[in-house]
Each structure stands twice: as structure tokens, then as C-alpha cells.
Amino acid sequence: MSSIEDVRRYWNSRPCNIRHSPKPVGSREYFDEVEARKYFVEPHIPGFAEFEKWRGKKVLEIGCGIGTDSINFARAGADLTVIDLSSESLELCKRRFKVYGLDANFYCGSAEELSKIVPVEKYDLVYSFGVLHHTPHPEKAFSEIKKYCGPETELRVMLYSKWCWKVLWIILTYGKGAFWKADELVRTYSEAQTGCPVTYYYSFKEARRLLNDFQVIDIRKEHIFPYVIEKYIRYEYEKVWYFRWMPAWLFRWLERNFGWHTLIRARLKG
Ligand SMILES: C[S@@+](CC[C@H](N)C(=O)[O-])C[C@H]1O[C@@H](n2cnc3c(N)ncnc32)[C@H](O)[C@@H]1O
């Protein structure tokens, strides 16, 4: 099993979405393009986060990466605290806040030992998008998160889905159908840079089990990536032939039933 140090090294070597723009890294144009590209290919994120809803509220974001969602919480007027395991990612996130003249409390460290790093207090929202399936012991992270939740706190988390198009596509494309190697294949090919040390993926039942101490308000699937990867990395957006010809309603149906992102809203059990 990979260690938290392996995870840190991986995300330090290439912070998430760092190549979402060819502009000079750290410039305003760079961050503008990163955001535009992220929400173009993952348009469900703003609806899930509901940035505007958290104006004047305390938000804790776990695994902020280079801060695309973080900056939107801050822009909307949230009182924001962020943490990430990767110092390289966090530095870029800090730089982003400076560029836009916004502020947050920044912490570097692991969600698995959150209460040793971030002062324990209750938040209105604990938000974590695409993070907790990358930590070696997600159950430890969730039991830490509980300490920051009161009865009114909302938890919004994205975890990767098990029964989804992307997993099937990875098994067929890279594993030649070797479904018994699915865990290893998903780990290897889940991210833009191959070889992610930890990537778990969950059925709804497994996700509910992981969030055992929380009452799930809503759980649903979103997101199928429809573009030709070789073109996408050149910033061209051409859909693969079968998605190009697929009616929009069918694509939406596939996303809702076989999407890669499981979006969960929950509250601590009473
Ligand atoms: C796929 S990126 C997502 C980043 C960001 N949430 C976004 O949507 O752009 C995963 C992030 O989780 C962070 N991460 C992984 N394990 C972590 C942990 N145990 N504690 C805090 N952050 C962690 C990584 O450093 C990386 O920045």
C-alpha cells in the first residue's frame, strides 16, 4: 500500500490541473484560463459547490489543489480555510489569492490528521472535491472531518464512482478487458499524469458505508469526459465519434447513471 508521502510526492510533481493553460504559470491570464477550462469540462462543479450560497459563512476546503474552487468561494464572500497535502499546489493556490487580492487561511498537511493542523471549530460547509479517494486511509480523514461538523454543517464531497463509464473505458483501453486488475488500472490511469499512488472508487453503497457517521442528503453521479484526449491536451475540444453522434439526452442519461463523479451532500448524524 502506498504511503501518504508517496501521495504527496505525486501531487507535488504535478499539481492537479496545472496544465489547464499554456500561459505563464502564476499569471492572472493563466488562472483565468485554468478556471475557464475546468468549468468547461466539469460544468457540474459550480452547481454542486453553490459558491454564492456561502457568502459570510465559514467554509473548510480539504484538498484545495491550485485553488480553482477555493477562489470562487472567496469571491463569493465565504470565510475560507483551505488545506492541501501538496506544498507545490498550496503555493500556487496562495499565489492565485494574491493575484486576485483575496484572502483565506492556508494550511499544508494531510486530512488524515486534520485536527493536528487546522484549529478545530465548527464550519458551515466542509467541501472536498476529488480528494478523499486519493488518501491512503479515507476513513481516518472522515473521522477527522467530523470534528469540524456541528448539526448544521453541510458536507459536500466528490468521490470517484465504481460503476461508471470511465472505469469501463480504462479497463477496456489500458487493460484489454482485464477487469480483475481494475483497482491497479484505475490507480494508474485515473489522472492526467499516470501512476497515481492511491485512487479508490466507490459504489453508492460503499460511499454510504465510508460516510457512516453522516446522514446522506443527496447522492448522485455526474461527468463523462467526451473529448479526444490527444486533442484535448492541445486545447482542442473535439468529441470522440460516438459521443459526437449521441443525442444530448442520451449523453445526459449516461452521465447521471454512469458518471465518474459521485456527488454527495451529507450532515452529521444527530
Ligand atoms: C485531483 S486533485 C483535486 C484538487 C482540487 N480539489 C480541484 O478540484 O482542483 C487532489 C488533491 O488532493 C490533495 N490530497 C490528496 N490527499 C490528501 C490528503 N490526505 N490531505 C489533503 N490533501 C490531499 C492532493 O495534494 C491534490 O491537490
Contacts of 248 (CB under 8 A, 6+ apart): none
Q: Is the CB of 68 under 6 A from ligand 1?
A: yes
Residue 270 has pLDDT above 90, yes or no: no
Query: Is residue 85 a part of any domain in this protein?
Result: yes
Into how many domains does the chain fold?
1
Query: Is residue 187 a part of any domain in this protein?
Result: no
Residue 261 has pLDDT above 90, yes or no: yes
Q: Output the CA 83–ligand 1 centroid distance in Å.
A: 9
Ligand 1: which of 6, 45, 134 to mutate, most ligand atoms within 8 Å of CB? 134
Mean pLDDT (the chain) is 97
Q: Is the CB of 211 under 6 A from ligand 1?
A: no
Q: Is the CB of 21 under 6 A from ligand 1?
A: no
pLDDT at 222: 98
Ligand 1: which of 18, 131, 200 to mutate, most ligand atoms within 8 Å of CB? 131
Dihedral sign for Cα atoms in the order 252, 255, 258, 264: negative
Q: What is the residue with the minimal CA distance to atom 10 of ligand 1?
A: 131
How buried is residue 130: exposed, middle or buried, by Cβ count under 10 Å (0-12/13-18/19+)? Answer: buried
User: Would you place residue 1 in the very low, low, confident or very high pLDDT band (cuts 50, 70, 90)?
Assistant: confident
Q: Is the CB of 112 under 6 A from ligand 1?
A: yes
pLDDT at 32: 98
Nearest to 131 by CA among 76, 188, 69, 175: 69
Where in the sequence is the domain holding 110, given as residue range(s)?
Answer: 4-160+197-225+260-268
In tens, the pLDDT along 34-72 reads 999 999 999 999 999 999 999 999 999 999 999 999 999
| Average pLDDT value for residue range 177-205 | 97
Query: Is residue 171 a part of any domain in this protein?
Result: no
| Average pLDDT value for residue range 97-126 | 98
Q: Is the CB of 197 under 6 A from ligand 1?
A: no
- DSSP state at residue 119: P
Query: What is the number of alpha carbons within 13 Å of residue 153 lying toward its C-beta?
Result: 22
Query: Is residue 186 a part of any domain in this protein?
Result: no
Q: Is the CB of 35 under 6 A from ligand 1?
A: no
Q: What is the residue with the minimal CA distance to atom 9 of ligand 1?
A: 65
Q: Output the CA 232–ligand 1 centroid distance in Å.
A: 22
| Per-residue cell: 113 | 490528521
Q: Is the CB of 190 under 6 A from ligand 1?
A: no
Q: Is the CB of 70 under 6 A from ligand 1?
A: no
What CATH number is given to the structural domain containing 57? 3.40.50.150
Query: Is residue 255 a part of any domain in this protein?
Result: no
Query: Is residue 32 a part of any domain in this protein?
Result: yes
In tens, the pLDDT along 221-247 reads 999 999 999 999 999 999 999 999 999
Query: Is residue 76 a part of any domain in this protein?
Result: yes
| Per-residue cell: 245 | 453522434
Atom of ligand 1 nearest to the CA of 16: 2
Helix crossing, 87-100 with 28-41: angle to 10°? 110
| Average pLDDT value for residue range 200-212 | 98
227 forms bridges with which residues in the sheet? 239
Query: Is residue 173 a part of any domain in this protein?
Result: no
In tens, the pLDDT along 136-154 reads 999 999 999 999 999 999 9
